Structure 1
Amino acid sequence: MKGDALDPKALIAEAYRIEGISLEECRSIFLDWALSLPEGTDEQAALAALLARHGVSGHPMTRVMSDGRSPAAPRRRGGRAARRN
């Protein structure tokens, strides 16, 4: 299957076609998708467009892509690393 500029390897489209796909499998596919984007691609814009195109409510790939759109909260560093300047 041939992809397009948003989904060069058609990974996201294929994930929506797989029946019974798990959240972990979707995360793996998402990582492969992110690594296959051409340099200079606006990932957030691509995710928004792919969600508009494929976003099926309740599908694990929709959840993974939605999570990818929200920035990760900074994590508190504990232990010795937190006390060192």
Structure 2
Amino acid sequence: MARDKDPIDPKGLIREAFRIDGISAPECRSIFVDWALSVKADDHAPLIQTLLSRHEDVPDAHPMKQVLQEGLAAKPANVRRGGRAARFTES
């Protein structure tokens, strides 16, 4: 029987990360990046919040939970400015 795809975790990466015993923080970061690239969203924060809510019963010390919290707190990089705005800084 085929499982319906979860639009928030289509590959099941986050779900599986929480199931892996002894998973490390670097492994969780790698999984998080793969997840973020696989989900089409302009703003991942609401999706991350939903994932944290789904796994609220997991201890806070779990590395995947910590990575999700870091992802929620991370500020997106500045957008590249082109043309004249890129050549002149604001005073």
If the TM-score is normalised by the length of the shorter chain, which range does it land in?
Answer: 0.7 to 0.9
Cα RMSD (Å): 2.3
Structure-2 residue corresponding to 1:19 = 21
Q: In structure 1, list runs of 5 or more residues that go unmatched.
A: 75-84
Q: In structure 2, list runs of 5 or more residues that go unmatched.
A: 78-88
Structure-2 residue corresponding to 1:59 = 62
- Trace 1:4-83 onto structure 2 (pairs within 5 A): 4-38=6-40, 40=41, 42-55=43-56, 56=58, 57-72=60-75
Higher share of residues assigned helix: 1
TM-score, normalising length from structure 1?
0.76
Describe the SS at the equivalent of 1:19.
Answer: coil
Q: Per-residue deviation at 1:58?
A: 1.1
May I ask how many residue pairs the two structures share in their alignment? 74
Larger Rg computed on CA atoms = 2
Q: Per-residue deviation at 1:62?
A: 0.3
TM-score, normalising length from structure 2?
0.71
> Sequence identity of aligned pairs in percent?
48
